A and B are shown apart, each in its own frame.
Chain A
Amino acid sequence: MKQPTPRPDAVPPSRRDFLRAGAAVATITLAPGVTLTAFGGSAEAEADANHRWGLLVDAGKCDPDCSACVSACSQENGWHDTGHPETDAQWIRKVDLTEIATGRELSLPVMCQHCESPPCVDVCPTGASFRRADGIVLVDKHICIGCRYCMMACPFKARSFIHETVPDADKRSFAPRGRGTVESCTLCVHRVDAGRVPACVEACAATGHNAILFGDLNDPESEISKALAQYPSMALRDDLGLDPGVRYAGL
């Protein structure tokens, strides 16, 4: 447990360059934070490659009339309907499906699929679109130039471009978002780093549907890994071989 205040020992100004060199390392390489911990002040970086965070959506349990996951995400991250459906951001959306051959109807949420090989990361010219060591795909809004190539590349339409200025009151301190950059589901990375589950998962569980499971795909003992081992599931656009971290059952 760390003590934020009083602050750690005063860092003499001469260490500034040292700190800046560290920034360069963090920006350029995505190696685990071994070298960074020396002055970053932390025992270990949260995003480590031993974990792979993922979701399992059970379409069989998802209620077509329920959109608790969507409202929870919107509330948590501060995006919402502004009356412009074509330009409003949607980090997560409910999609209603009707199977053409059988007429079977189902409903499920679609969000960023947090691919192992994300096309959005490949195409991003500045490297703003990136994949954390633990599999969470994020946009670094500090260097996003708003070219929208990632939106062209995403097979799931998971990303939104922020077309309008976001009022300060709408912003969440844990989920920065601003005009002219691209955004998408962060898997509630601020919650994950604090050992909690994403807002959509929590909200779904609160309704009693329990249609979304969150956990570590790398841990064979995790609830999600056990469920995946037990029941058939699939990834969206499996043909592309992107290995998404979000899986669907009952499709």
Chain B
Amino acid sequence: MIRLPHLLALIALPVLLAAAASAGQDRALWPEVPKAIGTPHPEGNEYWRRHHPDLLRHDRDLTLRMGDRTVRASLRQCLVCHAVTGPDARPVAAGDPGGFCAVCHEYAAVSIDCFTCHKATPDARGLRVIEKARAMGNTPETATMIADYLEALQKGTAFAPQPEATE
């Protein structure tokens, strides 16, 4: 609806890309996108950087209004691979300073309205998967484990056991 932030984001994008290209020398000037775990997006990062607002908006309507949960852009899934762990070893909320989304959004001065309602951290079971994946390192088994978890999220079978959801 508000096109201005998108416009700003688009203006900021070439800058971001340039930053990525010349990574290393200008680190301090440009946002440093936190590394993700799991299998990379086949569409490539540039595609997702550019299109994630539209993809998320499109898929949110599919899920909420039509009940279609087999969508490609699901915040819940994003948060698994893109979780950022803070200095206290707890996940940083994606929209909070240092969180995955905030890194670029703060740079481009685009506010995020997702996490006023959506949980900005993975839930308990997701946290365990992430922890395990980190311990296992970048192996095919890790990728499979994460893929399995993402699929479980999508199918709605990955419910956090009741008591730990509050932790």
Given a CB threshold of 8 Å, the question of whether A touches B is answered with yes
Q: Is the CB of B118 within 8 A of A46?
A: no
Instruction: Determine the residue in chain A with the shortest Cβ distance to B55.
Output: A19
- Within B141-167, the residues touching A (CB, 8 Å) are 143, 146-147, 150-151, 154-157, 159-160, 162, 165-167
* Bound-complex Cα distance A11 to B55 (A): 11
Task: Pick the contact of B62: A2, A33, A78, A169 (CB < 8 A).
Answer: A33
The size bracket of the interface on B is 35 or more
6 closest Cβ pairs, A-B complex: A194-B156, A47-B67, A178-B117, A46-B67, A171-B119, A23-B58
What is the bound-complex CA distance between A8 and B65, given in angstroms?
23
For window 172-193 of A, CB contacts with B under 8 Å fall at 172-174, 176-181, 189-191, 193
Q: Are B66 and A45 in contact (CB under 8 A)?
A: yes
Binding site for B on A (CB under 8 A): 2-11, 13, 16, 19-20, 22-23, 26-27, 30, 32-33, 36, 40-43, 45-47, 75-76, 78, 130, 132-134, 138, 140-142, 166, 168-174, 176-181, 189-191, 193-196
A4-B77, A169-B167, A191-B159 given. 14 additional CB < 8 A pairs? A5-B146, A7-B42, A16-B54, A19-B54, A22-B58, A23-B57, A26-B62, A33-B62, A41-B72, A43-B70, A140-B64, A140-B65, A166-B117, A176-B117
With contacts A9-B42, A47-B67 known, is A26 near B58, CB below 8 A?
A: yes
Q: Given A172-B165, A193-B156, are A132 and B65 also a contact pair (CB < 8 Å)?
A: yes
Which of B11-19, B44-52, B101-109 forms part of the interface with chain A? B44-52
A177 and B117 contact, CB distance less than 8 A:
yes
